[in-house]
Amino acid sequence: MPTTPDIAQAVADSLNATVFAQPVTAIRAWLPVYDLGEMDSLRVTVVPTSRTLTTVSRAAIQAEHRIEVAVQQRVDPQDLAAVDALVAVCGEIAEHLTGAALPALPEVRWASTEHTLLAAPEHLNELRQFTGLIAVSYRNWESL
């Protein structure tokens, strides 16, 4: 049975196998934190964040795994075209993951996608860094 980190790695692999409008190289990590000097290039970090278990019968449980994809890059907040391009990459990633199977884990099913359209305002204001977030949930069933 796949773990939440296994699913996060499968998400990163799926993103890396896809062509987006901007080149995307996704990595799996526990924290999407980088030195500000490293943020001139696009960073896509896939983070396993939670696992929720629910009883579905006396012999089985449903596991729901939440995976967050952080899209980050240093940008001038006044450059609307640059910020819009990063928002568009987030949208492409969300669309790619929505409803899609993970080839490496056929027993895992997509459940939901949350895409926060606005960049983290404090990051844009204080760090001059775009930070977008896509949260995707996947389900699988496990025997008790």
48-82: pLDDT as tens digits? 999 999 999 999 999 999 999 999 999 999 999 99
Segments in the chain forming alpha helices (H): 4-16, 80-97, 121-122
Q: How many residues does the chain have?
A: 144
Region 83-91: mean pLDDT is 95
**Tell me, what CATH number does 54's domain have?**
3.30.2000.30
Q: Kindly report the number of other CB atoms within 10 A of residue 99's CB atom.
A: 10
Give this prediction's pTM: 0.93
Please work out, in degrees rounded to the nearest 5, the angle formed at the alpha carbon of residue 100 by the alpha carbons of 98 and 101: 145
And the tokens for 113?
């996608």
Using a 10 angstrom Cβ sphere, with 0-12 exposed, 13-18 middle and 19 or more buried, the burial of residue 59 is exposed
Region 74-100: mean pLDDT is 95
CA dist list (Å): 115 to 12, 17, 109, 141? 17, 21, 18, 25
Q: Which domain holds residue 100?
A: 4-143
Is the CB of residue 44 less than 8 Å from the CB of residue 93? yes
pLDDT bracket for residue 137 (50, 70, 90): very high
Number of domains in the chain: 1
